[in-house]
A and B are shown apart, each in its own frame.
Chain A
Amino acid sequence: MWAILSVLVENKPGVLFKITHLFRSRNFNIDSISVGITDNPDYSRMTITSYGDEKQIEQIVKQLDKMIDTVEVKHLDEHKTVFRELCIFKLKLSNANDSMEVNKLANAYGGKVHDVKKDSVMVEITSTPDQIKAFEELAKPFGIIDVARTGVTALQRSGA
C-alpha cells in the first residue's frame, strides 16, 4: 500500500538526517519527502510518502513516533486529506503545432507554462501524484527533457 505520513518534528539541525537514516536502517521505503517550517518556528512538518504492507507501515509509524525529535506522527487517510505535489516538466517542441498542443494539455491539467523557447517549454503542474503521472504519459510524445518534483505535501481535512 501507498501511505502518506505527516510528521511534526522539532525544527533543529540533524532531524531530517535522523528521519531518513531511520528509513534506511530499518529497511523502510521512502517514496517522497518534503519538509517545511510551520507557522510555529519551533516545528517543521515533514510529509513522507512510503509504500509497504500494512504491518510495515504500522512499524514505520511506531518507529517514527518513538523518535524523541518527533512531536506528532499521523498516517493520513487519502480520502480525508488534501495532498498535492508540484512538478515541473521541460518538454521538447519539434514543430509549430507542438507549442499549441502543450498549452492545451497544460490547461487541461490546470498547469502553467513557463520559459517558452523555440524548441522547448516548461510546464508547472500542481496536482496529485496520479494526475502528474497521467500528464507525464500524455507529455511523453513531445519528448521530456527534464523533470523536477517536490514530493507530496499534505494536510488532513478539518473534521476528518
Chain B
Amino acid sequence: MESMTGAKALMTAMEKEGVKEVFGLPGGANLPMYDEFSRCDIRHILVRHEQSASHMADGFGRVSRKPGVCFATSGPGATNILTGIATAQADSAPMIAVTGQVPVAMIGKDAFQESDIIGMANPVVKYAFQPRTPGEVPEVVKKGFYIAETGRPGPVLIDVPKDVQQNEAPMNFPEEFKIQGYHPWTDPDIVACEKAIEMLLNSEKPIILAGGGTIISSAFAELQSIAETLMLPVVTTFKGKGAFPENHPLSLGPIGMHGHAEANKMMAEADCVLAIGTRFSDRSVGTFEAFEKRLKIIHMDVDPAEIGKNQTTNLAVVGDVRTSLRIMVKLLLQKQIKKTEESVWFKHVRETKEYWQENLKLHPGEMGAAKILRKLREVLPKESIITTEVGQHQMWASLFYDVIQPGTFFSSTGLGTMGWGFPASIGAKVARPDVPVVDIAGDGSFSMTENSLATAVLEDIPVIVFVLNNSTLGMVAQWQRTFYDRRMVGVDQGGCPDYVKLAESYGAQGIRAQSMDELDKAIKSAISSEVATVIDIPIDPEEDVLPFVAPGTSLSDMILPS
C-alpha cells in the first residue's frame, strides 16, 4: 500500500470517481487539499463566494447526473455553502461538498474558523462524513459518491480536519464496500405495474403527472411511450417541467400555483392520475382535498418514504421510476394494448388546451413576459439548457418557455433559492460546454450571486444571463398588490445596478434589449459570443404572473388575467 497524505488520498479518490472539475474557494483549513490541485489533473474553478460554488456543483450535477463537487474552508466557508446544500437536498441533486475543518484536537474548542458543520448540515444532507484519520479518506470518498448518486440523489458532505489532510497513512483504495443500512433501490414491483395499467384503463379521465423524479431517472422515452400508447394527457409539476416535450400534442404543461390554465383545469377534472416521481408539494397541487375523493392516485417513486407523506394514494409503485415505466411499456406491448380512438375525455382535453392557448390574455405591451420568453424559445436551439432564478421570471419561464428536448430545464423548485440560477448555469455549462446555457433571471435574484460573472469570464464559461428587469422583487410585489392592498414594502430595487455596465466591468458582454428586434439580435449575439453575456430586458413592473392559484386553494380556483 502506498503511503500518502489524506489530502492526496482525497484527490486521488476523486480522480478515480471521474471528477474533472471542482468549484471552490480556498482558506486556512483546506489549504493542504488546495495544494494538491498543483499536482493533479482536476481543474479548479474559483468562485467569489462559496454559496455560488455549491450552486455550480448542483447545476453540474443535475445536468451531468454525476455529483458536482464544491470545496470550501472551515467556519464561514462551510456555513456559506449550507444554502447550496439545502437547495440540492430539496431538489434531490447529486453533490459532494468538501469542507476543511480545524484539526481533530481543536474540534469543540471554539477554535478560529471552527463551525460544527456536520451538526448544522445534518438535516439538509443525504449523508455527512468526517474522517478522523487519513486512512479513512479513500473509503469515505467512495461511499460519498455512491450515496450521492444512487437511489434518490442528494448532497453528501465530507468534512476533513486539517491534520487528517496533512498526515500520511498507507492508503487502500477499496473497490468494494458495504453500507448496511442503505438500500437505494428496491426490486421493481411488476404486480403494481400491472395494477397501474388496469387502473388507467378502467378510468374515464386518466392523466399523467410527471414530477422531477422522471427527469432524474431519465425516463423520457418510457413516459412518452406510455402517454402515446394509452393516449394520456401529460401534466408535470414545475420540477418535472420538460420531462415530456412541451410541443407534443399530449402535453398540457406544468400544474401548480402558476401552472398552465389547461393543465390545472384538466388535473382538477381527472379521475385517475399516474403520478411519477413527485412529492405532491403544496406549490404543485394546492389542496388536493377538494377533488381527491374521486381522484384515484397511482404514486410511483424511488423513495418509499414519499408514499403517503403528503398524499394518500390508492396504489404505490415503489422503485426506480424508469424501471417501473419500462415494465409498464413491456406489459402494454405484450397485451397488445394501444389506444387510437379519441375518448370523450381526450376530446375535452384537446379542446380545453386549444381554448386556453388561444384565449389566455397576455400583457398588451411589446415587451410583455410571454413575448420575451417565446422569442427566447424561438431563437435558442432546442438542445439549449435553461436554468432559472426564483421569482416572477421563473414562473413566466414555466408558463411561456416550452421545453422541447426533455431534461433541458432546471430550477430551484423545492427550496426556491434566489441566486441559484446563475451559478447553476455555470456548472451546467461546464458539464455541457457544447450547448448554449441560459439563466432566465430577474434582477432581484441575479443580484444575489452576480459576482459569479468573475468566474464566468475568468474561467472562460460563456453562459447567458437573461434578466427580465422590473427593478422590483416582482413576486413579492405581486403578492403585496394581490393580498396586501398594494402596500409595497421592501421591493423596490431602484434601478440599481446598471446591468450592462456591471457586466462590462467584469469583462462580460452587456446588452440592453428594449424592443423585440433588439432582443432578437441580443440573443443571437449572446449565443455566438465567446464571453458570458448579460441581456438586460426592462419590463413593466406592474405585470403579474397569471394564472395564479392562491396558496391553500384548489387548482380549479385560478385567478385569471382580467
Contacts and interface: CB of A to CB of B under 8 A. Distances in A.
B123 A25 contact: yes
Interface in B111-163: 118-119, 122-123, 126-127, 147
B308 A68 contact: no
Contacts of A55: 308, 312
B179 interface: yes
Contacts of B181: 9-10, 67-71
A18 interface: yes
Contact of B180 (A17, A62, A71): A71
A62 B304 contact: yes
Nearest to A14: B118
Given A14-B118, A68-B147, A70-B181, A21 B308 contact: no
Contacts of A59: 305, 308-309
A147 B182 CA distance: 40
B308 A58 contact: yes
Nearest to A22: B123
A17 B304 contact: no
A66 interface: yes
Interface in A1-32: 9-10, 14, 17-18, 21, 25
A18 B126 CA distance: 12
B176 to A, nearest CB: 18
A65 B303 CA distance: 11
A128 to B, nearest CB: 30
Most-contacted residue by chain A among B119, B126, B303, B305 (CB, 10 A): B305
A107 interface: no
Nearest to B182: A68
Interface residues of A, number: 19
A63 to B, nearest CB: 5
Contact of B179 (A17, A18, A25, A68): A68
Nearest to A66: B305
B487 to A, nearest CB: 32
A66 B127 contact: no
A68 B154 CA distance: 13
Interface string B352-390: 000000000000000000000000000000000000000
Contacts of B304: 62, 65-66
Contact of A65 (B179, B305, B308): B305
A17 B121 CA distance: 12
B186 to A, nearest CB: 11
B157 to A, nearest CB: 12
A25 B303 CA distance: 18
Contacts of A25: 123
Contacts of A65: 304-305
A71 B181 CA distance: 4
A124 to B, nearest CB: 36
Contacts of B118: 14
Given A68-B147, A71-B181, A62 B122 contact: no
A59 B119 CA distance: 23
Interface string B79-97: 0000000000000000000
Contacts of A58: 308
A70 B308 CA distance: 21
Interface in A45-65: 55, 58-59, 62-63, 65
Nearest to A63: B305
Nearest to A42: B180
Given A10-B180, A65-B304, 9 more contacts: A9-B181, A17-B119, A59-B308, A62-B309, A66-B303, A68-B127, A68-B179, A68-B181, A71-B181
The 4 closest A-B pairs by CB, nearest first: A62-B305, A25-B123, A68-B182, A71-B181
6 contacts: A17-B119, A17-B122, A21-B123, A58-B308, A62-B308, A68-B182
Interface of B: 118-119, 122-123, 126-127, 147, 179-182, 303-305, 307-309, 312
Interface of A: 9-10, 14, 17-18, 21, 25, 55, 58-59, 62-63, 65-71
